[in-house]
Structure 1
Amino acid sequence: MTSPAAPPSSPARRRPPWAGRNYSLLTAAAVVTNLGSNGALIAASFAVLAAGGTAGDVGLVAAARTVPLILFLLIGGAVADRLPRHHVMVAANVLSCVSQGLFAVLVLTGTPQLWQMMLLAGLGGVGQAFFGPAAEGMLLSTVTGEQAGRAFAVFRMSMNGAAIGGAALGGAMVAAVGPGWVLAIDAAAFAVAGAMRSFLDVSHIPERVRSSGLVADLRAGWQEFSSRPWLWGIVVQFSVINAVVAAAEAVYGPLVAREHLGGAAPWGLALAGFGAGTVCGAVLMMRWKPRRLLFSGLLCVFPLAMPSAALAIPLPAWALIAVMFATGISIEVFGVSWMTALHQEIPEDKFSRVSAYDWLGSLAMVPIATSLAGPAEDAFGRSEALWGSAGLIVLLTALVLLLPDVRNLRRRTPGPVTAAAPELSPEPTLTPLPAPSPSATPSPAASPDAEGPVGRHG
């Protein structure tokens, strides 16, 4: 009797075992939005300038996006743990699509007023405040098993690659067709990504237990956050590190490039070198699985001091590009290790709230640091301020490494735990009462999904 022919392999069969349907949809949608959003960041600045705005006006529009992002993050995290996360993500994408679409219409049909651009940027910030924690929680709940680190590495590599391509393509399109059309393309990207995310399957996620309200959810998230020294210790560390890196790259870097490196082009290549390094770092983490997750990751944070030191000297352009490339590799090792630790240690129903506290800690001090960069240069000198930034990165990283939980947290693998592999004590049982973990990799243009972009570290 002839055996029946084997059915043709389905697309799912051609994917790695850890790349399920939800993971593939999330990755594809993140690539789409990163391509659009990184170009739109450039377009928004040139739209303000084309409307007669000054450099200060560009900063006001950027601040108009950042302030509501910070204000609504904790609420966004609590909402994402109460409602189906993909619904929150889609709603946030719709808001971002509408705000960017209106921004594009204003630019294409006339001269937008500063208040109008600030209002639309603020709506985009609100959308990102709800999207970010929901997206991170959804990604963490999508990946299972010991291949989680590889899955996170591929996801981050896809995002970073799209960010590099989006910035390059966006800059070229702004020059060719103007900022309005680039903003319109970004609005369309949000629409496409939102449609893709509407097909996410959440049937595997346990039904949420109703709490007594939003405030109780925030207290439970705070308890989860504050009860883990490795978590809040690293978030506090990166609240300062992200701030000084942002000041160095947004304020001092362009000035050093103009005065010593030959202008904007070498600085752009240095930032591109950082992005290329993050892609290479993600490729490395697809194969390397360090046993001591946070210890190995934090050792790779020390090189983050090198770009500030290189600008303080300053090094020639080719050396700065090499430094930025090496830094990109090292910080990506930390980023993947960080996501793997969160996935392993945080209960699924609190992913988004913990992510919100992480985001808040990672972003809150950035506007302060960038606003104080100029006065610090006047008071101490630019080189001294840059050396100070490098010193803070080294000092804070060394201090966090003193925490026993940071040094001892091990990667867990399926199966019985042997006595030779000491683990942290079991997670405490949490009650619905009072919850840092830096998801924001400091980078020239970082964000888990550059729909807002983060720069976040993890």
Structure 2
Amino acid sequence: MLREASFLRLWVAATASGLATWALPFVLGFAVLERALTPGALGLVLGARTVGFLIAVPVGGVLADRYARRDVVRAAGLAAALATPVLAAAIGRSVAVMAVAAVVIGAGQGACRPAFQALTADVVDPGRRQQANAAMTLAVRVTTLAGPGGAALLATVLPVPALVCATGLLWLAAALLPPPGGPRVAAPTAQRGTYLREFAEGLREARRHAWFLAGLGALTAVIATGYSATGVLLPLMSRDTYGGEAVLAAATTAYTAGALLGAVVIARWRPRSAGWAALAGLACYGLAPLGLWLEAHPLVVVAGYAAAGAGIELFNVPWFTAIQREVEPRLLARVSSLDFLFSYGLAPVGLALIAPAAEAFGPGVVLGVCAAVCFLAPAAAALAPGARHFARAGRLEGG
């Protein structure tokens, strides 16, 4: 796929946006270390970016179905690129200006996500979309490694404002590189309604696919529990139960390595019951909090995180491919925006609730509940009509 110029341009653009997204919190962390920014101010700025993301995701979905998807990516990327130096200039001067700039950057990130997803379907023919989605998710995993690592390396020679501006250059690349999409059918101008009405049309399309609603519910539950346990309780357990940071470092590295392996495998593997296989992969996330709950040997905990990483990609790639295949093309970006809004967009809610729950009931109880949810939610989703193949009931059930 990367030998084709159009997909290569799309892949590089998505990778650039991912690098900018993952690097910014890490770079701003250096500002905290240098006392140019307080931890509370950092939380406010990152929270403002999340608000911008949540606002822009549904709007971006409507825009990407209404207009050329490359134009939506370009506008969103340019907005983020222009807001980034404003944020850099405000470091140590005005937290309010930083927060406003962060909202714009988050909005650019949010509007890009459904547009990139729909643009992949425009650029790649149906028979190769699973391979294309695997390549796109590989880019995400590479950025989670390269973003913070590259920022740490550059921090030895560049000041923090320059590093922040460098993420703006990445947004500029994300804006300018995507290729034009192929021909598609959009609603005539005369038939367009308000943004709310057009978004509601996407909701109606989503409700036509029971497997999508069930899978999205399972994904949201797993991210809100398993992902939150990883972000909040893994560092605590690593310190208090395993006596240091070694388990934290090994588990997070194993998760990323497992995700890379899972993406490579699913690029070629075509399971007969793709939906059930994907949901089984999603359920593997429960192995991460389960190992911590059992206070298992460190190698068992690390292996659980590797399996969770592989499983999430065994879910993600068939999931994205099925949405691109099953959803009406002119509504694809709007349905994709629902995916990002409820799954990854609401992840901060889980992160915010995990710590108070652990204080109230103890980490062990919370980890046990998280593991149970991660196992049970995908199992329940597998019972939905069409879940076996991630297709409308009856369409592929005989295959």
Instruction: Report the AA paired with residue 268 of structure 2.
Output: R
Matched, 1:181 2:154: no
The 5-angstrom pairing of residues 51-450 of structure 1 reads 51=35, 53-107=37-91, 111-174=92-155, 177-197=158-178, 200-210=179-189, 211-213=191-193, 214-264=195-245, 266-409=247-390, 423=396
Judge conservation of contact 1:256–1:311 (CA < 8 Å) in 2.
Answer: yes
Render the CA deviation track for 1:321-340: whole Å, top value 9, x for unaligned: 32222221121111111112
Judge conservation of contact 1:291–1:410 (CA < 8 Å) in 2.
Answer: no
Distance (Å, rounded) in 1 between the aligned partners of 2:171 and 2:389: 41
Distance (Å, rounded) in 1 between the aligned partners of 2:295 and 2:234: 10
Q: 1:98 to 1:268 in 2, by over 3 A?
A: farther
How far residue 349 of structure 1 moved from its aligned partner, in angstroms, is 0.9
Q: Could you say what secondary structure the match of 1:290 adopts?
A: coil
Distance (Å, rounded) in 2 between the aligned partners of 1:286 and 1:378: 42
Render the CA deviation track for 1:246-278: whole Å, top value 9, x for unaligned: 321221122222323454454233222211111
Distance (Å, rounded) in 1 between the aligned partners of 2:377 and 2:100: 37
Judge conservation of contact 1:239–1:364 (CA < 8 Å) in 2.
Answer: no
How far residue 405 of structure 1 moved from its aligned partner, in angstroms, is 1.2
Render the CA deviation track for 1:22-71: whole Å, top value 9, x for unaligned: 21111112223333432222112332453455444332222111122212
Report the TM-score, using the length of structure 1 for normalisation. 0.80
Q: 1:162 to 1:63 in 2, by over 3 A?
A: closer
Instruction: Report the AA paired with residue 87 of structure 2.
Output: F
* Gap regions ≥5 residues in structure 1: 1-14, 412-420, 426-458
- Of 22, 26, 34, 1:42 maps to 26
Overall identity of the aligned pairs, in %: 24
Distance (Å, rounded) in 2 between the aligned partners of 1:375 and 1:159: 30
Distance (Å, rounded) in 2 between the aligned partners of 1:326 and 1:337: 17
Distance (Å, rounded) in 2 between the aligned partners of 1:364 and 1:29: 21
Distance (Å, rounded) in 2 between the aligned partners of 1:25 and 1:284: 23
| Larger-gyration structure (1/2) | 1
How far residue 168 of structure 1 moved from its aligned partner, in angstroms, is 1.8
Judge conservation of contact 1:32–1:189 (CA < 8 Å) in 2.
Answer: yes
Judge conservation of contact 2:122–2:182 (CA < 8 Å) in 1.
Answer: no
Distance (Å, rounded) in 2 between the aligned partners of 1:364 and 1:336: 19
How far residue 386 of structure 1 moved from its aligned partner, in angstroms, is 1.0
Q: 1:138 to 1:331 in 2, by over 3 A?
A: same
How far residue 130 of structure 1 moved from its aligned partner, in angstroms, is 1.4
- Decide which moves more: 349-358 or 161-170: 161-170
Render the CA deviation track for 1:93-144: whole Å, top value 9, x for unaligned: 111112222222334xxx2332232222111111122111111111122221
Distance (Å, rounded) in 2 between the aligned partners of 1:313 and 1:250: 18
Judge conservation of contact 2:209–2:391 (CA < 8 Å) in 1.
Answer: no
* Gap regions ≥5 residues in structure 2: none
Instruction: Report the AA paired with residue 380 of structure 1.
Output: F
Q: 1:121 to 1:230 in 2, by over 3 A?
A: same
Distance (Å, rounded) in 2 between the aligned partners of 1:44 and 1:357: 29
Q: 1:209 to 1:51 in 2, by over 3 A?
A: farther
Judge conservation of contact 2:218–2:377 (CA < 8 Å) in 1.
Answer: yes
- Decide which moves more: 397-406 or 26-35: 26-35
- Of 21, 33, 43, 2:17 maps to 33
Q: Could you say what secondary structure the match of 2:343 adopts?
A: helix
Q: 1:171 to 1:264 in 2, by over 3 A?
A: farther
How far residue 91 of structure 1 moved from its aligned partner, in angstroms, is 0.8
Distance (Å, rounded) in 1 between the aligned partners of 2:329 and 2:173: 27
Instruction: Report the AA paired with residue 170 of structure 2.
Output: A
How far residue 298 of structure 1 moved from its aligned partner, in angstroms, is 0.4
2:6 aligns with 22
Q: Could you say what secondary structure the match of 1:115 adopts?
A: helix
Instruction: Report the AA paired with residue 89 of structure 1.
Output: V
How far residue 317 of structure 1 moved from its aligned partner, in angstroms, is 4.1
Q: Could you say what secondary structure the match of 2:181 adopts?
A: coil
How far residue 148 of structure 1 moved from its aligned partner, in angstroms, is 1.9
